[in-house]
């Protein structure tokens, strides 16, 4: 019994000792997540707009982009940007590569989420806009988009959560974010459990806060429902 | 009603693929006139209305508004022709007052204050001045339809199109909507109304059109249409209703 308690004490001793040492790496995880969500959303909106132009060429390009992103692993995409693109003369530092890769990746999913949400807005809404003399752009901006964004929030939130966890893959291109630092600490101490436990706690904390924020947004957007 | 023709429909044809919905409609609409369009389901009533403001594109024929044939400029035309839908189509994400003021603000660039002032007056007119700050989900169907009418009126249209405005309403809510439409008729608004409310059509209309298989089978005063129908299909239609 005492051995059990002692080992638990030892576990938390290591965990508490290492927890503060994670902070710079957690900050990087936050930066990566934030930028990939932000840029991914902007990029996703942009891709969706290209698709909405109904121009065949643009539609084809976005289709190819989405199918490539969805058809290959993110890990491979990151390797390609970090190791492959320099061979074509496009060289970025590792942080930029990671942000580009993650945003490029989530952008594809986010554009599909937006597209689905826009298709989900009842056609009568567009007709009502037309009937008061609005043009296509005005209908999109004042009527379709606000309703679509609201529809998209739950799926979008899911994608944001995935983006936070996907940022851990940036460790493979030498970014010392939470997962990489955890591996380094493990290598230094040969004590994986408490260290991985701390890493897990940080991810859980970040995602819990994000979920909380998303729930709050959903709640606020519900004011127009009964 | 006066003798100025505000809208002229010339040989209007429309088909969905192989299905011919309208087979050559000719109609002159006089300023201030109220025309009811009746007919069985699939007779082309709604399609006729929707072709007038270009929600459906005609395949042949002309829509002539105030002497000018409409080419592709439906957006401009729709500022002058209001439309009310069977299922209201209010904007669920906007408060009642914003549903009404959005058109003037966005399309006509009316100032916010002016658009709100006008919206309030319209809400008073349809008897909903106390609903200004609620969302569409919080009011009844009859109230929604009255807001939809106010929204269309906010653009100061020359003609109003009503596409079965009471068909989606519970029976006890029909009256309040018809009352608003009747009030508009008294004020001299030019209106085309697709309706199944025969009593109302009889009372409010200057002319009634009976559509059958994509053509105007009979047209006349309410008395002519309801008391002394000539067309066989119309006779059957009226019998089936009473």
pLDDT mean across residues, chain A: 93
Within a domain: residue A14?
Answer: no
Residues of the domain holding A109 = 24-225
Question: Residues of B with CB below 8 A from A146's CB?
Answer: 93
B83 interface with A at CB cutoff 8 Å: yes
Question: Nearest residue on chain B to A124, judged by CA atoms?
Answer: B89
CA atoms of B106 and A142, how far apart (whole Å): 9
Instruction: Give the model's pLDDT for residue B2.
Output: 75
> At B29, is the pLDDT very low, low, confident or very high (cuts 50, 70, 90)?
very high
pLDDT tens string B181-229: 999 999 999 999 999 999 999 999 999 999 999 999 999 999 999 999 9
Within a domain: residue A16?
Answer: no
pLDDT tens string A13-29: 999 999 999 999 999 99
C-beta atoms surrounding B215 within 10 Å: 16
Mean pLDDT of B13-17: 93
Within a domain: residue A15?
Answer: no
CB contact under 8 A, B135 and A125: no
Domain count, chain A: 1
Is residue B204 a contact partner of residue B34, using CB atoms and an 8 Å limit? yes
pLDDT tops 90 at residue A215: yes
Within a domain: residue A62?
Answer: yes
Instruction: Give the model's pLDDT for residue A89.
Output: 86
Within a domain: residue A12?
Answer: no
Within a domain: residue A101?
Answer: yes
C-beta atoms surrounding A119 within 10 Å: 11
Within a domain: residue A169?
Answer: yes
CB contact under 8 A, B135 and A133: no
Q: What is the CATH number of the domain that holds A159?
A: 1.10.3720.10
Within a domain: residue A7?
Answer: no
pLDDT tens string A33-68: 999 999 999 999 999 989 888 899 999 999 999 999
CB contact under 8 A, A134 and B154: no
Instruction: Give the model's pLDDT for residue A52.
Output: 84
CA angle A50/A51/A54 to nearest 5° reads 100
Is residue A146 a contact partner of residue A156, using CB atoms and an 8 Å limit? no
Instruction: Give the model's pLDDT for residue A226.
Output: 61
Whole-model pTM? 0.86
Residues 104-133, chain A, touching B (beta carbon < 8 A)? 122, 124-125, 127-128, 130-133
CA atoms of B31 and B80, how far apart (whole Å): 13
CA atoms of B26 and A171, how far apart (whole Å): 73
């Amino acid at each position: 019994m005492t051995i059990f308690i002692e080992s638990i004490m030892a576990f938390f001793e290591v965990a508490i000792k290492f927890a503060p040492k994670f902070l710079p790496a957690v900050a990087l995880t936050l930066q990566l997540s934030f930028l990939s969500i932000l840029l991914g959303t902007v990029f996703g909106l942009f891709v969706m707009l290209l698709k909405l132009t109904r121009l065949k060429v643009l539609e084809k390009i976005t289709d190819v982009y989405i199918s490539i992103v969805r058809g290959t692993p993110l890990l491979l995409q990151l390797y390609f940007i970090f190791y492959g693109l320099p061979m074509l003369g496009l060289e970025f530092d590792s942080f930029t590569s990671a942000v580009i890769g993650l945003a490029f990746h989530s952008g594809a999913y986010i554009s599909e989420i937006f597209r689905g949400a826009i298709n989900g807005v009842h056609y009568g809404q567009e007709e009502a806009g037309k009937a008061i003399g609005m043009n296509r752009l005005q209908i999109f901006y004042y009527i379709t988009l606000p309703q679509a964004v609201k529809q998209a929030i739950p799926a979008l939130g899911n994608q944001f959560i995935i983006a936070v966890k996907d940022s851990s893959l940036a460790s493979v291109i030498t970014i010392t974010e939470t997962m990489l630092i955890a591996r380094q600490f493990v290598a230094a101490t040969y004590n994986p459990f408490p260290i991985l436990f701390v890493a897990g706690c940080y991810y859980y904390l970040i995602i819990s806060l994000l979920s909380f924020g998303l729930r709050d947004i959903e709640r606020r957007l519900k004011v127009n429902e009964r | 009603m006066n003798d100025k023709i505000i809208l002229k429909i010339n040989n209007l044809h429309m088909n969905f693929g192989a299905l011919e919905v309208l087979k050559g409609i000719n109609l002159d609409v006089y300023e201030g006139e109220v025309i009811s369009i009746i007919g069985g389901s699939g007779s082309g009533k709604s399609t006729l209305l929707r072709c007038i403001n270009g929600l459906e594109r005609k395949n042949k024929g002309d829509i002539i508004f105030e002497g000018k044939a409409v080419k592709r400029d439906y957006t401009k035309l729709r500022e002058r022709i209001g439309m009310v839908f069977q299922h209201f189509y209010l904007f669920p994400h906007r408060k009642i007052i914003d549903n009404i003021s959005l058109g003037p603000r966005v399309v006509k660039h009316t100032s916010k204050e002016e658009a709100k002032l006008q919206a309030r007056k319209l809400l008073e007119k349809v008897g909903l001045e106390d609903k200004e700050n609620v969302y569409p989900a919080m009011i009844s169907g009859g109230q929604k339809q009255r807001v939809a009418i106010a929204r269309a009126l906010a653009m100061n249209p020359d003609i109003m199109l009503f596409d079965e405005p009471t068909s989606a309403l519970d029976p006890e809510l029909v009256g309040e909507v018809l009352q608003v439409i009747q009030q508009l008729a008294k004020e001299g608004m030019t209106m085309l109304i697709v309706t199944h409310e025969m009593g109302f059509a009889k009372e409010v209309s200057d002319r009634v059109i009976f559509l059958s298989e994509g053509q105007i089978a009979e047209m006349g005063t309410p008395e002519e249409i309801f008391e002394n129908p000539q067309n066989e299909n119309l006779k059957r239609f009226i019998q089936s209703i009473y």
